[in-house]
């Protein structure tokens, strides 16, 4: 097996990827631009003992990502790269190692690119004073070496890319931004881990925007600000990937009253999850389990930050879900960034059996949105609306539904428990049950109705499931037709009576 190791990020096969460098801010460019979806594979994840958290290369959908970043390799004093785990190069029993098993995914998707990584430190972390300039020289030399090799061999130039800091002081201390952006093929900004238990108070892991009342220092710690720091310092936006995480930062609250659920409440690291076993961190599927097992755990939507969080009596979790991932991907496309990097595959619900949102719901949410060819203004600017909401709005007046949402996003607005949680919170309490879970719950209730204990009346399970699917179809079509009609009439609201009329007509037509 021919493995080509390269410092920073490297391609583990004999091919690189041709990504257009055009700016994708305009709708017309989306027809030819392929957004990068760089997914981390953690080599230690395959060694876990339970099937829920264990992830092997064979569990990965070869078409889920455009690039898989293998984490990690070791850099020796000689600057040579070495496998991080003993079974990376060779299997324990003499079979193929992790490198080869990941590369095998290319047999199904030849366009998939496999990467390996290492990145530098800042002065306050023990790096030498010349590291910043030395890093630029290294990147320049590698880039020219790759170009020379491509010229001599006739092969495509190997990819040279990196994962970088998101905080301004780290960026300024560690990188000569304009120079390195000239030589890197793309740069992934790790726009997560802005807050955690080290703060001693609750804070969101990856807010899209800042809060108005935050101290200036923390007001910059969000995705939008970090990306603009990189651009303002001279990095082309199409070379930048924003970072996402398939995990949340969890906090244990210090005996606060039930109403004290805001960001900035005194807290420490929450108890480690059953599977990930790291205090203060919960995989997305562990968060789903909490929501399903504990009815007191509620999801709140922070309007200013455009992200969800969970709060209960003693637990607070800042995380991303399908809704916030979709919002961030719309933001990515509108701003013209080149793609996304996500940590990490093993922290998502690989089978979909826990969260009931399909396999790899976080990664697939990003893929779905980035794969859309065009978006109308209503869809792409949801997060820029006054309330920055996608699937919920103020329902104090139940006679109308606001017309600034995509129809498929508001199907279950009537089912969601939406409630403003204090004037200063800018938060919405929303249902923690997704559509698939609601379908399952509805099927269960229908079965209880049609299959009584005395079995005097019986309806086939498949028929009940079909009825449920049809019901969801009718609701979807009703909302879509109602909003279309309202737009045609020039109305800003949809009357509930009109929705009921369309729904009844659909049933009669069926």
Residues known to be catalytic: 118
Query: Distance between alpha carbon 267 and the CA centroid of its chain, in Å?
Result: 25
Q: Are strands 186-189 and 240-245 parallel, antiparallel or unpaired?
A: parallel
Instruction: Taking each helix axis as running N to C, give the angle between helix 435-450 and helix 461-488, from 0 to 180 degrees, rounded to the nearest 10.
Output: 130
CA neighbours closer than 13 Å in the CB half-sphere of residue 447: 12
C-beta atoms surrounding 505 within 10 Å: 12
Any idea what DSSP says for residue 451?
S
Q: Which residues contact 255 (CB under 8 A, 6 or more apart)?
A: 314
Cis bond before residue 411 (omega within 30° of 0): no
Contacts 24+ apart (CB under 8 A), 154-158: 155/14, 155/15, 155/16, 156/15, 156/16, 156/17, 156/18, 157/16, 158/4, 158/6, 158/10, 158/11, 158/16
Q: Which residue, among 367, 310, 311, 318, has the nearest Cα to 342 in the 3D structure? A: 367
- Give CA–CA dist 483/401, Å, rounded: 9
Burial of residue 57 (number of CB atoms within 10 Å: 0-12, 13-18, 19+): buried
- Give CA–CA dist 22/33, Å, rounded: 8
- Give CA–CA dist 425/298, Å, rounded: 15
């Amino acid at each position: 097996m021919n493995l080509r190791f390269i410092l920073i990020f490297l391609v583990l096969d004999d091919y690189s990827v041709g990504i257009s460098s055009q700016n994708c801010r305009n709708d017309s460019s989306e027809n030819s631009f392929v957004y990068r979806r760089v997914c981390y594979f953690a080599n230690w994840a395959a060694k876990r003992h339970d099937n829920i958290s264990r992830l092997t290369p064979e569990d990965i959908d070869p078409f889920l990502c455009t690039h898989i970043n293998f984490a990690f390799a070791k850099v020796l004093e000689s600057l040579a790269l070495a496998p991080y785990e003993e079974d990376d190069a060779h299997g324990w029993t003499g079979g193929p190692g992790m490198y080869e098993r990941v590369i095998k995914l290319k047999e199904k998707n030849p366009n998939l690119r496999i990467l390996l990584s290492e990145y530098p430190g800042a002065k306050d972390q023990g790096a030498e004073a010349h590291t910043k300039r030395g890093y630029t020289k290294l990147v320049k030399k590698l880039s020219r070496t790759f170009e020379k090799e491509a010229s001599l061999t006739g092969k495509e130039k190997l990819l040279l890319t990196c994962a970088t800091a998101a905080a301004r002081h780290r960026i300024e201390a560690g990188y000569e931004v304009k120079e390195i952006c000239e030589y890197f093929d793309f740069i992934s900004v790790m726009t997560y881990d802005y807050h955690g238990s080290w703060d001693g108070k609750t804070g969101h892991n990856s807010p899209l925007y800042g809060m108005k009342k935050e101290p200036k220092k923390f007001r910059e710690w969000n995705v939008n600000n970090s990306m603009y720091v990189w651009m303002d310092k001279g990095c082309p936006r199409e070379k930048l990937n924003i970072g996402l995480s398939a995990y949340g930062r969890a906090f244990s609250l210090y005996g606060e009253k039930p109403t004290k659920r805001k960001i900035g409440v005194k807290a420490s690291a929450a108890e480690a999850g059953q599977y990930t076993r790291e205090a203060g961190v919960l995989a997305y599927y562990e968060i789903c389990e909490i929501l399903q097992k504990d009815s007191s755990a509620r999801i709140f939507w922070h309007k200013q930050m455009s992200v969800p969080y969970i709060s209960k009596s003693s637990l607070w979790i800042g995380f991303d879900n399908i809704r916030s991932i979709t919002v961030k991907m719309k933001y990515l496309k509108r701003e013209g960034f080149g793609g996304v990097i996500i940590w990490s595959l093993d922290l998502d619900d690989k089978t979909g059996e826990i969260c009931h949102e399909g396999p790899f719901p976080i990664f697939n949410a990003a893929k779905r949105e980035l794969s859309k060819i065009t978006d109308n203004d209503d869809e792409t600017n949801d997060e820029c609306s006054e309330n920055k909401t996608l699937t919920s709005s103020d329902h104090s007046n139940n006679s109308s539904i606001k017309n600034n949402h995509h129809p498929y996003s508001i199907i279950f607005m009537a089912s969601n428990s939406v409630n403003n949680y204090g004037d200063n919170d800018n938060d919405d309490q929303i249902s923690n049950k997704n559509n698939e879970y609601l379908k399952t719950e509805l099927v269960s209730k229908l079965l209880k109705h049609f299959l009584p204990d005395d079995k005097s009346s019986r309806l086939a399970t498949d028929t009940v499931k079909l009825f449920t699917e049809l019901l969801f179809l009718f609701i979807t079509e009703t909302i879509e037709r109602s909003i279309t009609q309202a737009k045609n009439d020039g109305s800003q609201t949809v009357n509930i009576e009109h929705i009921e009329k369309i729904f009844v007509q659909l049933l009669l037509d069926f």
